[in-house]
């Protein structure tokens, strides 16, 4: 019997200021609706969140201004549709208002067995691997995609 795979994605962004700074108000105001949109999007499976309903309190790095996002989707297409073809796309186009340009890798995609929930350590390892080795089956990007593993 062939395994079924889902797509995991992790991304990081460094805020231009602390979340409570007026500079970040436009981002903070959109967060709840964008998370709700993700949760109801076709192909959405799971996202890392605290009891507050988002992941902004999770600090995966020593820098308190780096936000960490981790989610699972049924396919690359489902994630692409949410990221670029929904209201999320408008927020993405405005990201430079709220976030600094990062040097290096800020997003990684990888395939996981359906039902698996990646954690922060796994996602950070995938980001590091992509940074060190470039796109491959263990970590890739929207531009350089890899298919799910063959069983």
The answer to whether 107 and 10 have CB atoms below 8 angstroms apart is: yes
The answer to whether 13 and 67 have CB atoms below 8 angstroms apart is: yes
pTM of the model: 0.92
Q: What 3 state SS string does 10-51 have?
A: EEEEEECCCCCCHHHHHHHHHHHHHHHHHHHCCCEEEECCCC
The answer to whether 113 and 1 have CB atoms below 8 angstroms apart is: no
Task: Count CB neighbours of 20 within 10 A.
Answer: 8
DSSP H helices in 41-108: 76-85, 87-93, 95-98
Best CA proximity match to 123, nearest among 21, 12, 32: 12
Alpha carbons 118 and 104: distance in angstroms, whole number: 22
For 26-61, the pLDDT digits (tens) are 999 998 999 999 999 999 999 998 888 778 888 899
For 89-125, the pLDDT digits (tens) are 888 888 999 999 999 999 999 999 999 999 999 999 9
Given a cut of 70, is residue 2 above it in pLDDT?
no
């Amino acid at each position: 019997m062939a395994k079924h795979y889902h797509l995991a994605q992790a991304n990081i962004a460094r805020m231009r200021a602390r979340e409570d700074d007026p500079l970040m108000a436009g981002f903070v105001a959109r967060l709840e609706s964008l998370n709700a949109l993700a949760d109801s999007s076709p192909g959405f499976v799971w996202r890392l969140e605290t009891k507050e309903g988002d992941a902004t309190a999770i600090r995966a790095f020593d820098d308190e201004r780096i936000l960490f996002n981790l989610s699972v989707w049924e396919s690359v297409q489902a994630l692409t549709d949410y990221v670029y073809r929904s209201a999320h796309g408008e927020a993405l186009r405005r990201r430079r208002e709220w976030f600094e340009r990062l040097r290096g890798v800020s997003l990684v995609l990888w395939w996981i067995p359906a039902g698996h929930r990646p954690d922060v350590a796994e996602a950070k390892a995938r980001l590091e691997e992509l940074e060190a080795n470039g796109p491959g089956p263990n970590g890739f990007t929207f531009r350089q995609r890899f298919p799910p593993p063959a069983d």
